[in-house]
Chain A
Amino acid sequence: MIELRDIRKSYRIGPRKLEVLKGIDLHIGKGEFVAIMGQSGSGKSTLLNVLGILDEYDSGLYELDGVPIRKLSAKQAARYRNAFIGFVFQSFNLLPFKNAMENVALPLYYQGIGRKERNQTAMQYLDKVGLADWSTHLPSELSGGQNQRVAIARALASKPKVILADEPTGALDSTTSKEIMGLFESLNDEGISVLIVTHEDDIAHRCKRLIRLKDGLIEADPALETQAGKHLR
């Protein structure tokens, strides 16, 4: 489903080049539940942005569902983001002037779905995250955990194949974090691939696969080890 080969990315800071991803090889299959950990600055967010087609990379191969992403036009990229990927961010990234329902309905607007159907679908997903009663509230009127649920509902609304979540519980207390993780687990049970960047061990350990990043390289990946083990045998 997601295939990365020797992905490299660097940022230009003045005259110097800062290499952030130094050759990432990664395969994530359908329905996987993956945690990405690593020290601050190790490139986790950068990797997730590349995966989400939210940022460009310098070299390497990235195939999403068998389609090489590098060659996509801006318009095609927009369609892939809409149809394949749901995003959940640490800072929620809800539009402050839209209420919960309208925020959830926004990806559907970009699918060209009419208002009525859009709002119905949005209500379904709000219900799914337990916020049906809060649909007319603005983000400023909701708690952090509630906002993150709205964001998850929004990520689900376009029926994506993969959810990319960058520290989704980073701004939440531990009880709320557990509830949010529960949500991700149930999504994964429905067959959606979930990738979570996190600093918290208990979050990471609820995932089925743990990838460790260090200085722009994958330091540990159980999938690689088993593959390597298979080779050895």
Chain B
Amino acid sequence: MDPMIFVQYSPILIRGFGLTILAWLLGTVFGMALGLVIALVQRYAPKPVTWVIQAYIEIVRGTPFLVQLFVLYYGGPMVGLRLDPLPAGIVGLTIYGSPYFAEIFRSGFRAVPHGQIEAARAIGMAEPAIVRRILLPLGLVSALPALVNFSIILTKETVILSIITVPELMYQVQRMSTETFRFLEGNFVLALFFWGLVEVISRFGRRIETRITRHLIERP
């Protein structure tokens, strides 16, 4: 390994890593938001609507992210959807993650004991208030570990954005490798940066988990 390469390439590697984090963060946040909406609609909408959404879920889950990104970036302009690489990548991550997040929220909601929903109905609470005050807070707690887990999986999907020329970490590492003919260093950088990111996310996830389950653990 040649440490001088890292010194020389550190500015573009760091910039690339910044973009990786940005794309991941926005893709995850938007994907979660879309997934939450999907899960709520699936729970409350009439049957025909849920069939349409189920079809969306099956299609997105049944195709590789790479294919989705190609269709969005190269196929989009044919239907008038012209996106720059980075926005296309973020939209792609959002779409790709949404059905998984939706399933995570769905099972989180299912974990809320039905009796606690009934108790709210029995005192005359309206459904929107029940969702906001009981279903969401309790469902999120159950969903949290799986949400963090899938967010971690998504960090590694960002490398695919290099295919549509988003200058994120993978893109810059490839550039470094082809310019210097040193491939070991590139893989080392990828491993190190992703390991660091994943570590931070999972620690953060555990911190939140301890915080929000503080009152829920039985300690009579």
Task: Decide whether A and B assemble into one complex.
Answer: no
Which B residues are closer than 8 A to A by beta carbons? none
